[in-house]
Amino acid sequence: MGVKRSKKGVFRLFVDTASRVRIFLSKVRRNLSLYRVKTDTFDEVFVEITSHCNFHCAFCPSDSLQRKKGDLKDEYMMKILSELRDKGKVIAFHVLGEPLLNRNFFKYLSVCDEYHIEAHPTTNMSLITDAVLENILDHPSVTLIQLSFQTSSRESFALRGSAMAFEEYLALLERIVFNRKRIASNCKININVMNDYHCHHDTLWGIFDPERFRQFMGTVEAWKERLVAEGAPAQSPHQSHAGPFYYRTLDEIPEDFYNRADEIHYEITPNLAVFVKHVGKFGMSDAFVDYLNNRKGHPYKLRNIPRRFPFPIPCWAVKAPCVLSNGEITCCCVDIEGTLSLGNIARTTLEEAAKSKKRARVMKSPLLFETCRKCRGRLLFHPQPP
């Protein structure tokens, strides 16, 4: 006997199936387009102006970093900015570290304004007061701010090694969201929050609670009306999805989204979104895996199973090279130790690094490289013996 579905259930099934088909087709399109990507240029570069951080998140390799921590030398940053002047490029101020800890941060934003370089800082928000936020928004070069909010409950926030209380952190987020200058600004804000298979299956710290994540999304959803009442631009009813991973109501998000490989955007207003991210992406760093396995109270033992076959699947991440705080230019922001180095900014330029044969090889056939095999591998979690 067939199972009877309610009207809501049928609608949900229809939305889910349509979403799966859309995502599948977009992946095929994206992968095919990667074979045509130019391998000798870039539109965006990640620059780690400091690798120091005032948080100590257990899910971040920051505290197990093998390279020496520090600020990127001012002369290196000025060299990068001069090279990118008037070229229509974007600088994402991030790899690891908190960029606001670099005392030249605002100087670099001013140079970005003057040189017409778009700036996309990523911050853990802890140093953002109203005045700091408004100062950032005064820079026309800043078109996107990534708020690294990550943990949506008191229990998971405890993993971040911060002196703040979660309630204080959430109130800070709310203050940023409802800042009048921000509401009226064209600068986009992404609130990055982690949620994936591991959070839902209790394999990471046993602390991420899907129910608390839903509560957080409900809180954010409730901000929508308030924001529009305070003058935020409302979503246009005529505008359809901006892309297959962009959702504009909570109902549209597939219920099992966390089981999927894709990171998703949930648009609150046109200049504010929640970006749901994956947890386990730093598993290619052996030092980080060892660090987690030796951490007191960590309930699972991790093992990285690298991909074996060097099948030539191109990697989109190589489109945005990175400059680490020690000046090493590497292929992608996941390569936090710089193992895929293309040279040092002290001795080469971004353009030379971008045109290098090594970058073209990593881009076209990443699985020829051990770091990439680990990055594309699987992280396994085994319960630790008590």
By CB under 6 A, name the binding residues for ligand SF4. 53, 55-57, 60, 62, 96-98, 124, 148, 160, 315, 317-318, 331-332, 334-335, 362, 366, 371-372, 375-376
> 53-67 burial, b for 16+ CB within 10 Å, e for fewer?
bebebbbbbbbbbee
Tell me how far, at minimum, the Cβ of 102 lies from ligand SF4, in Å: 13
- Burial of residue 196 (CB within 10 Å: 0-12, 13-18, 19+) is buried
Q: Toward ligand SF4, which CB reaches closer, 23 or 375?
A: 375
Q: At 83, which helix (H) or strand (E)?
A: helix 74-84
C-alpha–C-alpha distance, residues 210 and 276, integer Å? 13
What is the separation of C-alpha 22 from the centre of its chain, rounded to a whole number of angstroms? 23
Q: Toward ligand SF4, which CB reaches closer, 96 or 350?
A: 96
Q: Toward ligand SF4, which CB reaches closer, 204 or 232?
A: 204
Q: Toward ligand SF4, which CB reaches closer, 61 or 244?
A: 61
Tell me how far, at minimum, the Cβ of 6 lies from ligand SF4, in Å: 42
Tell me how far, at minimum, the Cβ of 339 lies from ligand SF4, in Å: 8
Tell me how far, at minimum, the Cβ of 177 lies from ligand SF4, in Å: 19
C-alpha–C-alpha distance, residues 17 and 188, integer Å? 30
DSSP summary character for residue 146: E
Q: Toward ligand SF4, which CB reaches closer, 253 or 372?
A: 372
Q: Tokens 């030539």 appear where?
A: 312
What distances in angstroms separate CA 252 from CA 5, 19, 219, one per listed residue? 19, 8, 17
Tell me how far, at minimum, the Cβ of 19 lies from ligand SF4, in Å: 25
Q: Toward ligand SF4, which CB reaches closer, 224 or 373?
A: 373
Q: Toward ligand SF4, which CB reaches closer, 55 or 247?
A: 55
Tell me how far, at minimum, the Cβ of 130 lies from ligand SF4, in Å: 21
Q: Toward ligand SF4, which CB reaches closer, 78 or 172?
A: 172
Name residue 244's amino acid.
P
Rounded (10°) angle between helices 210-229 and 166-177: 30
Tell me how far, at minimum, the Cβ of 154 lies from ligand SF4, in Å: 17
Q: Toward ligand SF4, which CB reaches closer, 217 or 375?
A: 375
C-alpha–C-alpha distance, residues 374 and 286, integer Å? 9
DSSP summary character for residue 233: P
Residues composing the chain: 386
Tell me how far, at minimum, the Cβ of 198 lies from ligand SF4, in Å: 16
Quick check: 196 and 381 in contact, CB under 8 A? no
What stretches of the chain adopt beta strand conformation (E)? Answer: 44-47, 90-93, 118-123, 144-150, 188-194, 246-247, 264-269, 272-277, 300-305, 322-323, 328-330, 341-344, 378-383
Q: How many CA atoms are closer than 13 Å to the CA of 133, on its beta-carbon side? A: 25
Tell me how far, at minimum, the Cβ of 373 lies from ligand SF4, in Å: 8
